[in-house]
Amino acid sequence: MFDNLTQKLESVFRKIRGEGKLTPQNIEDALREVRRALLDADVNYKVAKQFIADVQARAVGQEVISSITPGQLIIKIIYDEMVKLLGESRADITQAPLPPTVVLVAGLQGSGKTTFCAKLARYLHTKGRLPLLVAADVHRPAAINQLEMLGKQIDVPVFSQQDTEAVTIARNSIEYARKNIRDTVIIDTAGRLHIDEEMMREIEAVRSTVNPHETLFVVDAMTGQDAVNVAKVFYDRLRYDGIVMTKLDGDSRGGAALSIRAVVGKPIKFIGVGEKLDALEPFYPDRIASRILGMGDIVTLVEKAQEQFDQQKAQKLEEKLRRAEFTFDDFLEQLREIKKMGPLSQVLSMIPGMNKLPANASVDERNLTRIEAIIQSMTKDERRRPSIINGSRRRRIAMGSGTTVQDVNRLLKQFEDMQKMMKRLSKGSLRRSLRGMQFSL
Amino acid sequence: MGIFESIAKFSLGLSKTRTALIQRVQAIVAGKSKIDSELLEELEHVLLEADVGVDMTTLLLERLRERVKREGYEHVQSLLTYIKEEIAKILEHDVLHMQEPAFSRIDQKPYVIMVVGVNGVGKTTTIGKLAYRYKQSGYKVVIGAGDTFRAAANEQLEIWARRAGVEIVQQKQGSDPAAVAYDALSSALAKDASVVIIDTAGRLHTKAPLMEELKKIKRVLGKRLPGAPHEVLLVLDATTGQNGLHQVKYFHDAVNVTGIVLTKLDGTAKGGIVLAITHQQSIPVKYVGIGEGIDDLQPFDRTIFIEALFEGMRQSA
Ligand SMILES: Nc1nc2c(ncn2[C@@H]2O[C@H](COP(=O)(O)OP(=O)(O)OP(=O)(O)O)[C@@H](O)[C@H]2O)c(=O)[nH]1
Ligand SMILES: Nc1nc2c(ncn2[C@@H]2O[C@H](COP(=O)(O)OP(=O)(O)OP(=O)(O)O)[C@@H](O)[C@H]2O)c(=O)[nH]1
Ligand SMILES: [Mg+2]
Ligand SMILES: [Mg+2]
């Protein structure tokens, strides 16, 4: 389902090679592929339609210059348009001229509001600010408990009141912040449906009571076509200033980001990339655009790799690789580094060419776990000198790791191949080696 | 709540979410007499905006064209009957599960249900509702608090257990979820309980170690009681788009899902992704969630589902 759009377009365009200009006729098939990609990514049907029309208007008449193929040209146009539509990257919160700054957080049930509130508090806290979390969800069972526990984890106070209405809690919290010198008040609210009149009135009342400097709408990245309806009604009622998209650590393509931007025109300010409280990132339009289009995003991968790899370790490893002294211990370490970067399918999808694997789904993460188990069942000596692993050792390792002798054989063979390949990499960079390794897994 | 009331509430919940669709289909239908490209495009629009997905939509429209070629039609209304029938066929095997009233079907004692799904879809709430319904049917129910990860997951489930009037087995946050599951089942066996429902932490299907953890929970249940769990319910949020297919695939690969619970159908999302899911994976939708209250859970019934889906049509016919 998630074939590489670039490749599809290349094949679509093969037949119009040699024509000098893009015309409505010769880009029709290409645009159909683009539309398909957008719909698979959950971009709203109407938004996709409008987007394609815009791209078409921009593309038609463009000269096809010899240095790039028509496919590349149209990809560039689409990509640029999309990045433009997604807006700029700005992870900022409007500051109150006079503290405290008040941030109101709203959204559907289960979208990740409470978690985001804690993440934002942690982020501000690490920057030296003095946030206050406010538990204004009086509906969901144990919502107050949840926020209190999260607050404790990050050492940020939580304001709560039992058996009190949300509006009153919110109002009192501002007073409390003033008295206790907290400079940012983050108000968590109950999840609600946009069509639940009573609940929408509640949050409107909270809003008009506390007059937030920043209102944020939280949306799940896995949301489908309905995202536009929800985002629009919340906007009509709350005039929020920005959007937070959560759960982007999965493999959803996040097309809702484009739909919502198109409908309400507000910036996406933060993205959630995990359940832990440090899993908050600024929003980068170029990355989401690549993701929606299903195109490799080498930039992100490289950045991620750089973040995660300790520079010194990397150098040492590179030396070892060059001298082919790479052992199973190093291999294991690498494996864990790769796992740290995120789900394997996600890491792989960031490498151009890799996302044309028969759907990300076929990348079996269990393999990693199995390989890890096998290596862990080896003795120190065996890890350093795999050549000593004879038949009986193989049987023992298979038993110990709950795998089969064939599994062990396969891994040893792959490892040997990899060592050979690494020898050939005369002055290959670590990154290239890393890529080689992923192919061999 | 009586069965008629239930059905009424269910239909109402659905009809709220479906009115837009129905109205649009009605609009398409009015005055058309042949299956022209404009009509097909409109139908495509309706299906795509319901999260049915490109492949499934193409398939449905293809089947519609075939039927028209084969059987012809008198007026546009029959096209709708055709589409309804095609959708019904896709949901067909649900009939097997739905002929007997749900909530009172217990093939084993204790009947062990494990509930899984991605983050925030409504697992814990659904467990509260399920426990309540089993309790209402006269069964002794034990809930196992297998989400030992999320902040206040225990407290949340505790409240639901209290509301449902059932027992809960839990350990402190951070303990091994498989151990909690084991404990819950042991306790149920000791107390001669009839139903055991195990909550699990929300997890994204792409996270291999977390999926391994889920498998372990399942394995441990099976060790304590051969054959358990008898039911693995995957909870799916109706607002979910095409990613729903991935969710089902990965969870099914890991723990062999026996049924789907489609939650939050009281919103405006259509939940159309279940068509692609039942078509591709042959996993039936068993229940639908239509609110946050304890009795906002209904058995998924294909007939009611489709009747509710096209409710407005009959009136206009
Ligand atoms: N994987 C992942 N999980 C997340 C992320 N953000 C939140 N979650 C999880 O999603 C679930 C719901 O999060 P909450 O913060 O409780 O959501 P909420 O919007 O406050 O929910 P309600 O208050 O019930 O409406 C929890 O299991 C969180 O751990 C994220 O960025 N990635
Ligand atoms: N409107 C509506 N809300 C629902 C429904 N089912 C659950 N919810 C709400 O969705 C939110 C998340 O529900 P939970 O039961 O905590 O979800 P979960 O899957 O257990 O979440 P995690 O354990 O964090 O992964 C809560 O605010 C529920 O009240 C439903 O059918 N309709
Ligand atoms: Mg919350
Ligand atoms: Mg839960």
Q: What CATH number is given to the structural domain containing A56?
A: 1.20.120.140
User: Among A26-40, A279-293, B95-109, B259-273, which stretch is predicted with the lowest mean pLDDT?
Assistant: B95-109
Do A219 and A106 share a structural domain?
yes
Do A201 and A82 share a structural domain?
no
List, in order, residues 6 or more apart from B279 with CB less than 8 Å away.
B56, B59, B90
Q: What is the pLDDT at residue B34? A: 59
User: Among A43-47, A280-284, A413-417, B284-288, which stretch is predicted with the lowest mean pLDDT?
Assistant: A413-417
Average of pLDDT values for B248-267? 95
User: Among A49-58, A122-131, A305-314, B194-203, which stretch is predicted with the lowest mean pLDDT?
Assistant: A305-314
Could you count the other beta carbons within 10 Å of the beta carbon of residue B160? 24
Greater pLDDT, B20 or A5 = A5
pLDDT band, residue B242 (cuts 50/70/90): very high
Do A418 and A392 share a structural domain?
yes
Peptide bond into A100 cis (omega under 30): yes
Q: What is the pLDDT at residue A33? A: 83
User: What ipTM was assigned to the predicted interfaces of this complex?
Assistant: 0.87
Would you say residue A75 has pLDDT above 90?
no
Do A316 and A242 share a structural domain?
no
Would you say residue B7 has pLDDT above 50?
no
Q: What is the pLDDT at residue A34? A: 86
Do A272 and A350 share a structural domain?
no
As a whole number of angstroms, the distance between CA B71 and CA B84 comes to 16
Would you say residue A346 has pLDDT above 60?
no
Average of pLDDT values for A18-36? 79
Residue of B133, B151, A222 whose CA lies nearest to B143 = B133
As a whole number of angstroms, the distance between CA A41 and CA A222 comes to 9
For A149, which of B121, B152, B292 is closest by C-beta distance? B152
Q: Which residues of B touch A148 (CB under 8 A)?
A: 152
pLDDT band, residue B106 (cuts 50/70/90): confident
* Listed ranges A81-95, A128-142, A341-355, B259-273; the one with the highest mean pLDDT: A128-142
As a whole number of angstroms, the distance between CA B176 and CA B146 comes to 8
Give the tens place of pLDDT for each residue, A241-272: 999 999 999 999 999 999 999 999 999 999 99
Interface check B21 vs A, CB under 8 A: no
- Asked whether B49 and B239 are in contact (CB, 8 A), the reply is no
Token pair of A31, please? 């645009």
User: Among A57-61, A132-136, A335-339, which stretch is predicted with the lowest mean pLDDT?
Assistant: A335-339
Give the tens place of pLDDT for each residue, A156-193: 999 999 999 999 999 999 999 999 999 999 999 999 99
Q: What is the pLDDT at residue A20? A: 66
Would you say residue A434 has pLDDT above 80?
no
Do A288 and A168 share a structural domain?
yes
Would you say residue A16 has pLDDT above 80?
no
DSSP H/E element including A280: strand A280-282
Whether B86 lines ligand 2, by a CB cut-off of 6 Å, is no
% of residues, chain A, pLDDT over 90: 50
Average of pLDDT values for A127-146? 96
Do A338 and A270 share a structural domain?
no
As a whole number of angstroms, the distance between CA B271 and CA B13 comes to 13
As a whole number of angstroms, the distance between CA A201 and CA B147 comes to 33
Residue A157 lies in a domain: yes
As a whole number of angstroms, the distance between CA A103 and CA A93 comes to 8
Average of pLDDT values for A91-111? 94
Give the tens place of pLDDT for each residue, A190-222: 999 999 999 999 999 999 999 999 999 999 999
Please identify, among A86, A117, A136, the residue that sits at the C-terminal boundary of a domain: A86
- Please count the CA atoms within 13 angstroms of the CA of B7 that sit on its side-chain side: 11
Interface check B16 vs A, CB under 8 A: yes
Average of pLDDT values for B175-198? 97
Q: Dihedral of CA B277/B279/B280/B281: which sign?
A: positive
Q: What is the pLDDT at residue B311? A: 53
Domain count, chain A: 3
Token pair of B70, please? 């084969």
Give me the phi and psi of A169, to 5 degrees please: -55, -50
% of residues, chain A, pLDDT over 70: 74
Average of pLDDT values for A412-438? 57
Q: Would you call B208 and A365 a contact, using CB atoms and an 8 Å cutoff?
A: yes
Distance A232 CA to ligand 3 centre (A): 21
Would you say residue A113 has pLDDT above 80?
yes
Q: What is the pLDDT at residue B82? A: 85
Whether B292 lines ligand 2, by a CB cut-off of 6 Å, is yes
pLDDT band, residue B159 (cuts 50/70/90): very high
Burial status of residue B311 (CB atoms within 10 A of its CB: 0-12, 13-18, 19 or more):
middle
Average of pLDDT values for B230-250? 96
Chain CA centroid to CA B92, Å: 15
Q: Would you call B159 and A39 a contact, using CB atoms and an 8 Å cutoff?
A: no
**Ordered alpha helix ranges (H), A155-226:** 166-179, 197-210
Would you say residue B183 has pLDDT above 50?
yes
Q: Would you call A39 and B243 a contact, using CB atoms and an 8 Å cutoff?
A: no
Task: Give A207→chain B minimum CA distance, Å.
Answer: 23
In sequence order, the β-bridge partners of residue B287 are B261, B299
The single-letter code of the amino acid at B191 is K
| Helix, coil or strand: residue A2 | coil
Domain CATH number, residue A173:
3.40.50.300
Residue A385 belongs to what domain range?
302-434
Q: Sheet of A280-282: strands edge to edge?
A: A158-159, A131-136, A184-189, A101-107, A214-220, A242-246, A268-272, A280-282
Greater pLDDT, B9 or A139 = A139
* Strand A280-282 with A268-272, pairing: antiparallel
Token pair of B203, please? 């997890």
- Asked whether B273 and B242 are in contact (CB, 8 A), the reply is yes
Terminal CA-CA length for chain B: 32
Strands (E), chain B: 111-116, 141-146, 167-169, 195-200, 231-237, 259-263, 285-289, 297-299
The single-letter code of the amino acid at A406 is Q
Average of pLDDT values for B286-296? 95
Please identify, among A241, A257, A292, the residue that sits at the C-terminal boundary of a domain: A292
Residue A26 lies in a domain: yes
- Please count the CA atoms within 13 angstroms of the CA of B88 that sit on its side-chain side: 14
Do A79 and A208 share a structural domain?
no
pLDDT band, residue A21 (cuts 50/70/90): confident
Average of pLDDT values for B275-298? 92
User: Among A299-303, B2-6, B114-118, B302-306, which stretch is predicted with the lowest mean pLDDT?
Assistant: B2-6
Nearest CA in chain A to B163: A141
Residue A94 lies in a domain: no
Give me the phi and psi of A195, to 5 degrees please: -100, 5
Greater pLDDT, A33 or A299 = A33
Would you say residue A1 has pLDDT above 50?
no
DSSP H/E element including B255: helix B243-255
Q: What is the pLDDT at residue A440? A: 30
Q: What is the pLDDT at residue B302? A: 75
Interface check B211 vs A, CB under 8 A: yes
As a whole number of angstroms, the distance between CA B130 and CA A244 comes to 32
Residue A91 lies in a domain: no
Please identify, among A292, A321, A348, the residue that sits at the C-terminal boundary of a domain: A292
Domain CATH number, residue A312:
1.10.260.30
List, in order, residues 6 or more apart from B136 with CB less than 8 Å away.
B103
Do A62 and A139 share a structural domain?
no
Would you say residue B201 has pLDDT above 90?
yes
Do A134 and A232 share a structural domain?
yes
* Strand B259-263 with B285-289, pairing: parallel
Q: Which residues of A touch B129 (CB under 8 A)?
A: none
| Helix, coil or strand: residue B68 | helix
Mean pLDDT of chain A: 82
Do A112 and A25 share a structural domain?
no
Greater pLDDT, A176 or B64 = A176
Residue A28 lies in a domain: yes
* Strand B285-289 with B297-299, pairing: antiparallel
**Residue reference for tokens 């776990």:** A369
Q: What is the pLDDT at residue B293? A: 97
Residue A96 lies in a domain: no
As a whole number of angstroms, the distance between CA A67 and CA A136 comes to 58
Q: What is the pLDDT at residue A376? A: 87
Greater pLDDT, A384 or B21 = A384
User: Among A182-186, A223-227, A273-277, A420-424, which stretch is predicted with the lowest mean pLDDT?
Assistant: A420-424
Would you say residue B57 has pLDDT above 60?
yes
- Asked whether B236 and B262 are in contact (CB, 8 A), the reply is yes
- Asked whether B270 and B50 are in contact (CB, 8 A), the reply is yes
**Ordered alpha helix ranges (H), A265-364:** 285-293, 298-308, 311-322, 328-340, 344-349
Would you say residue B20 has pLDDT above 50?
no
As a whole number of angstroms, the distance between CA A215 and CA A192 comes to 15
Q: What is the pLDDT at residue A19? A: 64
Test mutation, A2, A8, A43, A109, chain B, max B CBs within 10 A: A109
- Asked whether A105 and A132 are in contact (CB, 8 A), the reply is no
Q: What is the pLDDT at residue A359? A: 39
Give the tens place of pLDDT for each residue, A318-344: 666 566 666 788 777 767 766 665 555
List, in order, residues 6 or more apart from A190 with CB less than 8 Å away.
A136, A137, A138, A139, A140, A143, A166, A199, A202
Would you say residue B4 has pLDDT above 50?
no
- Asked whether A72 and A84 are in contact (CB, 8 A), the reply is no
Q: What is the pLDDT at residue A385? A: 85
As a whole number of angstroms, the distance between CA B105 and CA B97 comes to 10
Residue A202 lies in a domain: yes
Q: What is the dihedral of CA B234, B235, B239, B243, to 10 degrees?
A: -30
Would you say residue A64 has pLDDT above 80?
no
Do A248 and A116 share a structural domain?
yes
% of residues, chain B, pLDDT over 70: 80
- Asked whether A217 and A242 are in contact (CB, 8 A), the reply is yes
Residue A92 lies in a domain: no
For B239, which of A226, A345, A368 is closest by C-beta distance? A226
Q: CA–CA distance from B209 to each of A301, B11, B47, B119 (Å)?
A: 21, 40, 36, 15
**Residue reference for tokens 């204790």:** B110
Would you say residue B47 has pLDDT above 50?
yes
As a whole number of angstroms, the distance between CA A74 and CA B74 comes to 45
- Predicted TM-score (pTM) above 0.95: no
Q: Which residues does ligand 1 sit against, CB inside 6 Å?
A: A 107, 109-115, 137, 140, 143, 190-191, 246-247, 249, 272-275, 279; B 119-120, 150, 202, 204
As a whole number of angstroms, the distance between CA B309 and CA B16 comes to 10
Q: Tally DSSP H helices, then E strands, for chain A.
A: 20, 8
Q: Would you call A275 and B239 a contact, using CB atoms and an 8 Å cutoff?
A: no
Mean pLDDT of chain B: 84
